[in-house]
Structure 1
Amino acid sequence: MSPLVLVAAGLAGLLIGLSLGLLGGGGSILAVPVLLALGQGAGQATTGSLAVVAATSLVGALAARRSGGTGTVLVGRGLAFGSVAIGGAALGAHAAGAVSDDVLLLAFSALLLLVAGLMVARRVRGATAAHRARPAAEEPIITFSPTFACACPRALKVLVTATVVGLLTGFLGVGGGFLVVPALVLALGLPIGQAAGTSLVVITVTSASALVVRLGATDHPDWSLVALLTSLAVLGAVAGTWLARRTDAARLHAAFTALLVVVAVWTAARALPALV
């Protein structure tokens, strides 16, 4: 690995981690374009991204668990949601091996634009969603004692959302936190602080399961590059968490949204010429 690639990978890893720490999610979506820019193919980049996402999310979940407070991690609920999503992650990982790199890149570009649009919509709505009625976090979805009872609409919402998150994770190599957090808030009734911390458990489970499937189905990435990216992403996440308390969140979201649009256009420009 050349010194220039080492420096580029180091800076990129710090950027991914800083985005995760500053914004509470979404930064891992940058791992795929970063690996592409460092010479990896689309299949290699999405597989390597899963390793970065899984490791960084695991460290983030452990840190949030230790810190407690508003970022409390509900491990049991996270593992349950993640377990439901494993099936979708496996399907998505298999599907990724059946399409061309250009189709994979174009789909990833579309996802970036979708996430950017969701972030803009979130800022426009402001805190409106926080005041909507949602089910109590303590209220169980399914009970077996003293009699069987099922809150089936909530169960269906969790099943569908978890499966979609798993599919996106396996197919595109992303963590899916932008879907997991609102799903945990709306379907399970978790406060936003608990949802953000618990989502890291879900992302760890889905990313790790998708990575296992990918390892037997696609070309492997440059693992030394992935390891460097991951280690610095973890450091960046720790630094980003510290900076988040001292930085204007509105400006950060605006800057990150703009970055997503730029990366989406760049990714699409790589794929479209081969598909036209």
Structure 2
Amino acid sequence: MSVVVLALLSGAVIGLALGALGGGGSVLAVPALIYLLGFTPVAATTAALIIVALTTATALPAHAREGNVRWRTGLLFAAAGVVPAMLGGLLAARLPAAVLTAAFAVVALVAAVRMLRPRLSPADPARAIRPGRAAAAGAGLGAVTGVLGVGGGFLAVPALVNVLGLRMRTAVGTSLLVITVNSVAALALRAGTAEGIDWGVVGPFVGAAILGAWDGRRLAKKISGQSLQRIFAVALLGVAGLMLIGSAV
């Protein structure tokens, strides 16, 4: 199978997850780029940020038109993660490939476990926002984004529900705003690592991801979010296992 075909298939799956779940698909981008498309870990994390930023920015307007994006809340949450995301991007360039791979596997494992948990109950719209907790959650998410090249949507949605009190559908839409801001911030300090990226592969990957995100948004209206999360979590557990084995070899 050609590299371009693999890029198209990988992009479609990742876009589907982003559109349906408001995150999570980016966690698969890095292993797909490394194991299927031959990218180095550093190049893969940079390429993943590009893919995620473009895909979420394109999907965001549709969620906004449906009233599922809290702009002020999302920007406040994301702002706390901008500096950690930029610092994380600098750190990633200095970490050994094996460390990046192992760290990513651990994050993927955490994401899978979180997705296998029962669905969170609807949040109370009147629940007061605690700025300190919101800032801490946003900063932690930004750091993960910068170091590992993931948008952090699999962590952003639960944080937006539990910390800021948003309902699940609104949290999904708002997470796309958070992911976009964090990804762009992390990319700002990764310009040097973009030189080795094969744009002939990343271009088709991004195009398929954008189309997949539109399909994912429509799919989310037909299949329960809990079922989608369970399917994705099982796949993510397999990815985490493979990457842990690979980092130990």
The bucket for the TM-score relative to the shorter chain is over 0.9
Q: How far has the Cα of 1:222 moved from its partner?
A: 1.4
1:267 pairs with 2:237: no
Show the 5 A alignment for 1:1-276. Answer: 4-36=2-34, 37-68=36-67, 72-121=68-117, 123=118, 126-127=119-120, 129-130=121-122, 136=126, 154-216=130-192, 220-273=196-249
Name the CA shift for 1:249/1:217 in 2 (closer, same or farther; >3 Å): closer
Please give the alpha-carbon distance, in whole angstroms, between the structure 2 residues aligned to 1:231 and 1:97. Answer: 27
Question: For the structure 1 residues 23 and 196, does the alpha-carbon distance in structure 2 shift closer, same or farther, using more than 3 Å as the test?
Answer: closer
Please list every run of 5 or more consecutive structure 2 residues that lacks an aligned counterpart in the other structure: none
User: What TM-score does the superposition give when structure 1 sets the normalisation length?
Assistant: 0.83
> How far apart are the structure 1 equivalents of 2:236 and 2:167?
27
Q: After the TM superposition, which of the residue ranges 184-193 and 196-205 deviates more from structure 2?
A: 184-193
Cα deviation 1:136-166 (Å, max 9, x = unaligned):
36x5x6xxxxxxxxxxxx2221111111100
Aligned partners of 1:272, 1:259: CA distance in 2, in Å? 21
C-alpha contact (below 8 Å) 2:80/2:136 kept by paired residues: no
- Write the distance in 2 (CA, Å) between the matches of 1:93 and 1:66: 32
TM-aligned CA distance change 1:202 to 1:250, over 3 Å: closer
Change (3 A) 1:250 1:81: closer
How far did 1:26 drift? 0.9
Contact 2:115 2:229 in 1 (8 A): yes
CA distance in 1, matches of 2:219, 2:44: 28
Q: If the length of structure 2 is used for normalisation, what is the TM-score?
A: 0.92
Which residue is equivalent to 1:144?
A: none
Q: Does the aligned pair in 2 maintain the 1:136–1:190 contact within 8 Å?
A: no
Using the TM superposition, give the Cα deviation of residue 66 of structure 1 relative to its aligned residue in structure 2, in angstroms.
1.9
Deviations 1:75-130 (A, max 9, x none): 22222221211011011111111111111001001111111111122x2xx44x43
Q: Give the distance between the partners of 2:150 and 2:15, measured in 1 at CA.
A: 14
Which SS does the other structure have where 1:157 is aligned? Answer: helix
- 8 A Cα contact 2:13 2:209, kept in partner: yes
Call closer, same or farther: CA 1:193–1:246 in 2, change over 3 Å.
closer
Residues 84-93 or 210-219, more deviating: 210-219
Q: Does the 8 A contact of 1:136 with 1:188 survive in 2?
A: no
Q: What is the one-letter code of the residue matched to 1:130?
A: P
1:97/1:218 contact within 8 Å kept: no
For 2:18, the aligned partner's letter is L
Instruction: Specify every segment of 5 or more residues in structure 1 that has no aligned partner in the other structure, as ranges.
Output: 142-153
Q: Is the 8 A contact 2:111 2:155 kept in 1?
A: no
Q: SS of 2:122's equivalent?
A: helix
| Fraction of identical pairs, as percent | 40
CA distance in 2, matches of 1:218, 1:6: 19
